[in-house]
Structure 1
C-alpha cells in the first residue's frame, strides 16, 4: 500500500510539472495530455480521500513550477525576506491547489462514481466553470495561466479565440485530454480519432485562413526604458536618471515622426496633479515636439476631501494638454494593495510603503481624434471578460506594464501570451508598452508584428490600424455561455437517464 501511495504521489508531481511546462515559456507540445491523463486516472481509480490528496499534490506541483517567479518578485525586488517569500509561495500554491485542482477532482470523482467513466466528459465543463470563476474570485480575480494557453501559442489554433475566447480553448484542451483518456481506458480508437479531428480541423482551416485589416495606418512609437526595478523602487534617488532615460527615448522616437508615442506603466516618477521639478522638466523638454502621447503614472487624487493613490494612464494631445486619464480597475492583490484579512501582515510587504492603491471605477475609453483607446494597465490584460466588455466601444488596445518585477523568469512570457490573446478575442490591434519588455505591436489575428525583447532599452516603431468591428466572441459570448450551461445540464440529464 505504501509503495502504491508513493508511486501515485510521484505521478501527481509529474502531472503538475507536465501541465506547467505546457505553458509559456516552455511550450512543450501536448505535454498537457499526459498531465491530465494522470490526474484523471488518479481521480477515477481512487477513493475520495486519495483523490483529494493526489489532486492536491498535482495542483501544488503545478503552482510551484508555474508561479515560482513570485519568490523573485517579492524577495529580490520587493524587499521581502527570502524565507517569508518562500513561505508565501507555498501558501499561495496550497490555496491555489485547493480552490482549483482539488475542487475540480472531487466534483469529477462524484460524477464518475455516480455514472461511470463516461462522466469524464463532464471534465471540460467543470474545468471551464472553475476558470470563469477565477476571473472574479478570489478578490478581484486571478485568471493567470488558464488551460487554453497550453495551445494558444499554436498560430492557426489561436484564431479560434475570436469565436470562443480563451475559455473555449480551455474547453478544447480538456476535451481532447478526456477523449484520449477514455479511448485508452476503453480501448476504443474512435474516441482517439475524435480527439485528433477536434484539433486538426480548426488547425487546418485557420492555416489557410488569412485575414486582412483595412483602414488608415498610423505610426506609433513605443518607449522601452529598461529601468531596473530596484532603481524604480528608489526613484527619489534616481529620479533624474529615470527621467533622462525616457526623455532621450522620447527625442529618439520623435525623429521617426510618429502619430503617437506610448510610455509604459509608472514610467516617470512624478504625480501629474502635483507640482514637482521632475514634472516641470519633463514637460519643458518635450514642449518643442508636437506629438500626442500616452504615459503611465502613479496618481494622487482627492475625492471627498480624502487623498487616494491610483495607478493611471494619461493621454495628452499634441500640445501636451491633458485629454483624459484612466484609473486602473483590476489591482494586483499583495502587489498594489493588501487585501482583507491580511492587513495585519502589511508590514511584510515593504514595497507598498504602508499605503494601498485604490481601484478605479470607470471603464472609460480614452478618445483622441480617430483613436478610441482601450486602456489596460498591467494585470488587467489577463481578464478575458473584462477586456472584451471594455473593447466594445474602442478601436485599439493599449496595454502598459512594468514587468521588471518578474526578472528573468517565465512570468514576462506568460503575461505577454495572455495579452496577445486579448488582441485575437477582441479583433483589435494591441500596443504593448512595458518598462523591461516584452513590448510589441500585435495584430488582431495574434501575429506579433514587431517586438522588443526583454531587458533592452530602445524604441519600437510600427504601424497600427483602428478597428471597430466586434468579433463573434464579443458579440455572442453571453449566448455561448448559456449554450455551454445548456450542454452541461443536458449531458448530466443524459447520464441520469442512461443510469436509471
Structure 2
C-alpha cells in the first residue's frame, strides 16, 4: 500500500511542478493537483502520521523540482569557498534546509486536513462546503506562515527581519497563463490560493461520492471547467477595465536595457565594458524618441558612459530622457543598493533604496555565518563581507517627476507582494524592476520563474512592470500580467509604450485580507469538528 501512497504524492508534486515550467497547462493542473493525494489518504482513514508524511514528501518533491535552478549558484568560488567538495556539501545542505522547511508547512497542512476530514464522511453537501472552505482557510494560513521561512533562516541583525515575506514557491506562480490568477488584483496570492484549494477539495469530494468511474471523471471535469469558466468571465471584465484605463492614461516610450554581462559575482569595470558598450550602442541606434530608460541592477550606466564617450548621455539629451539607473552608495551604515533617477536637464531627480536584501547573495545570514565559522571558514565570511555585503536601505516613497510618479524594486524584492502593493497605493504610476541574474545566466527554469513573479506583481498592483536585467529576462509586463515584450538573450533590450495608470486595485487598497478570512473559515471548521451538535 505504501507504493500507492508514494505514487499519489509523486503525481501531486509533478502536476504542480509542470505548471511552473510548461506554458498554458498550469492553471488546470494546479486546480486539481492535490486530488490524487486526498483520494488516497481518505482510503487510509485519514491517519495523522500518513497525512503529515505524504504531504511533506510531496512538498519535498515539488519544491525540489521547482527550486532546482538554485544549483546554478555552484561552484561557490564567488563566495570565497574554493574547495568544490565543501562548496557542494554546504550548498546542498542549505538547499535541502530551505526545501524541507517549505515542505514542513505542507505536512502541517496534511495533518490539519486529516483532523478536519474525520467527521465529513456521511454529512450533507452543505457541511461538505464548510469542510472545503475550512481546509482552504488552513492552506492559506500555512502558505502565509511558509512565506516567513526564508526570513527566519536568513536573519542577520541589521541586514534582515524575521518578518520579511518571501512568496517563493507559491502555487500561484505556476498558473500565470490562466484566468484564475487575475483574482490576485482583488486579494493577492492568498485569494488565489483559497480558490485553488476549494477547487481541489470539491474535485476530491465528488470523486469520493460518485458511484462510477465515468461519473467521477465527468463530475471532476465539470467542477474544473466551472471554476475556470467563472474565473474567465470575471477576467474578461477585469481586462476590459484595464483596457479602458490604458486608453485614458498618458503613455510613454520606455526602454528596458539588457546588458548581457558574463557570469560573475563581483565585477571589475573591464569585465563588463564590452557588454555595456554593446547595450548602449543598441539604445543609441533606436529611431524612436525615448522617454524613460531603465538600467538593470548593478548598471551604473551614468558613470560608465561618462567615462566612455558619453554616447548614452548625448542620446538622452535629444528627448530629455529619464534614466532609471542603479548604483551602490556608501552611507553611514555601509554600502547601500539604490535606484537613481537622473535627467540630463535637471540632474538627480531622486533615489530609492533596496530594503529587502537577498540572503547569501547580499549578506551572510547569522545561521550560515555560524556554520562556516564552526567549519573554520571565518576567512570566507570576512572576504565575502568585504567584497559584497550590503546594508539595508530605506525604500522611500515613489519619486515624482515631470512625466509622472515612479517606483522601483530591486531583484529579490519582487518576491514580496506587500512592498509592490504599497508603492502602487502610494501613487506610483509604473513599477521598475531592476534585476541582476548573472549567476543564473541561461537557466530557463529560473527565467520563467522570475517572469511569473513579475507578472503576479503587475496584476496585484494594477501597474505595468518594466523588468531590466543584466543577464536574465528583460520584459515589459502590462497591468493584467501579459508579457508585452521579452528578451532573454543578447545585449539588446526591449521597448514599448507604457501607460501610466492611476487605478487602485482592491488588493492595493485592502492588502492581504484573505489571510484573516482564512482564519475565520478555519475557526468555523474547527468549531464544528469540536462541537458537531
TM-score normalised according to structure 1 size: 0.86
Aligned residue number for residue 295 of structure 2? 263
Aligned residue number for residue 466 of structure 2? 431
Specify whether residues 367 and 103 from structure 1 end up closer, same or farther in structure 2 by C-alpha distance, changes over 3 A only.
same
Aligned equivalents of 2:21, 2:278: Cα separation in 1: 30
Aligned residue number for residue 389 of structure 1? 422
Does the 8 A contact of 1:27 with 1:150 survive in 2? no
Alignment of 1:201 with 2:230, yes or no, is yes
Specify whether residues 412 and 76 from structure 1 end up closer, same or farther in structure 2 by C-alpha distance, changes over 3 A only.
farther
Q: Encode CA deviations 1:153-178: one digit per residue, 9 max, x unaligned.
A: 11x43433222322211211111111
Alignment of 1:164 with 2:187, yes or no, is yes
Aligned residue number for residue 22 of structure 1? 19
Alignment of 1:327 with 2:327, yes or no, is no
Does the 8 A contact of 1:366 with 1:375 survive in 2? no
Aligned residue number for residue 273 of structure 2? 240
Aligned equivalents of 2:169, 2:409: Cα separation in 1: 18
Deviation, structure 1 residue 364: 2.2
Aligned residue number for residue 128 of structure 1? 140
| 5+ long unaligned stretches in structure 2 | 123-127, 152-163
Deviation, structure 1 residue 40: 2.2
Does the 8 A contact of 1:396 with 1:467 survive in 2? yes
Aligned equivalents of 1:93, 1:135: Cα separation in 2: 13
Aligned partner of residue 266 in structure 1, secondary structure: coil
Aligned equivalents of 1:227, 1:147: Cα separation in 2: 31
Specify whether residues 42 and 73 from structure 1 end up closer, same or farther in structure 2 by C-alpha distance, changes over 3 A only.
farther
Q: Encode CA deviations 1:191-227: one digit per residue, 9 max, x unaligned.
A: 7445542321121343465232112221111111111
Aligned equivalents of 2:22, 2:362: Cα separation in 1: 25
Aligned residue number for residue 110 of structure 2? 105
| 5+ long unaligned stretches in structure 1 | 273-277
Aligned residue number for residue 313 of structure 1? 339
Aligned residue number for residue 57 of structure 2? 57
Aligned equivalents of 1:466, 1:137: Cα separation in 2: 35
TM-score normalised according to structure 2 size: 0.81
Deviation, structure 1 residue 311: 2.0
Aligned equivalents of 2:362, 2:429: Cα separation in 1: 29
Specify whether residues 286 and 206 from structure 1 end up closer, same or farther in structure 2 by C-alpha distance, changes over 3 A only.
closer
Alignment of 1:219 with 2:253, yes or no, is yes
Deviation, structure 1 residue 427: 1.4
Does the 8 A contact of 1:42 with 1:51 survive in 2? no
Aligned equivalents of 2:363, 2:309: Cα separation in 1: 30
Alignment of 1:184 with 2:207, yes or no, is yes
Specify whether residues 35 and 417 from structure 1 end up closer, same or farther in structure 2 by C-alpha distance, changes over 3 A only.
same
Aligned equivalents of 1:92, 1:184: Cα separation in 2: 34
Does the 8 A contact of 2:116 with 2:525 survive in 1? no
Aligned equivalents of 2:403, 2:291: Cα separation in 1: 11
Aligned residue number for residue 174 of structure 1? 197
Aligned partner of residue 419 in structure 2, secondary structure: helix
Aligned equivalents of 2:468, 2:134: Cα separation in 1: 40
Aligned residue number for residue 89 of structure 1? 95
Alignment of 1:356 with 2:386, yes or no, is no
Specify whether residues 96 and 145 from structure 1 end up closer, same or farther in structure 2 by C-alpha distance, changes over 3 A only.
closer
Q: Encode CA deviations 1:50-93: one digit per residue, 9 max, x unaligned.
A: 22322221111111100001111243785663623334323322
Aligned equivalents of 1:354, 1:287: Cα separation in 2: 30
Does the 8 A contact of 1:108 with 1:122 survive in 2? no
Q: Encode CA deviations 1:86-122: one digit per residue, 9 max, x unaligned.
A: 3432332222212x21121122222223665844542
Aligned equivalents of 1:362, 1:463: Cα separation in 2: 26
Alignment of 1:475 with 2:509, yes or no, is yes
Aligned residue number for residue 155 of structure 2? none
Aligned equivalents of 1:55, 1:365: Cα separation in 2: 42
Aligned residue number for residue 485 of structure 2? 450
In the TM superposition, 1:480-499 aligns within 5 A as 480-497=514-531, 499=532
Specify whether residues 448 and 266 from structure 1 end up closer, same or farther in structure 2 by C-alpha distance, changes over 3 A only.
same
Question: How many correspondences in the alignment?
Answer: 482
Specify whether residues 296 and 128 from structure 1 end up closer, same or farther in structure 2 by C-alpha distance, changes over 3 A only.
farther
Aligned residue number for residue 174 of structure 2? 150
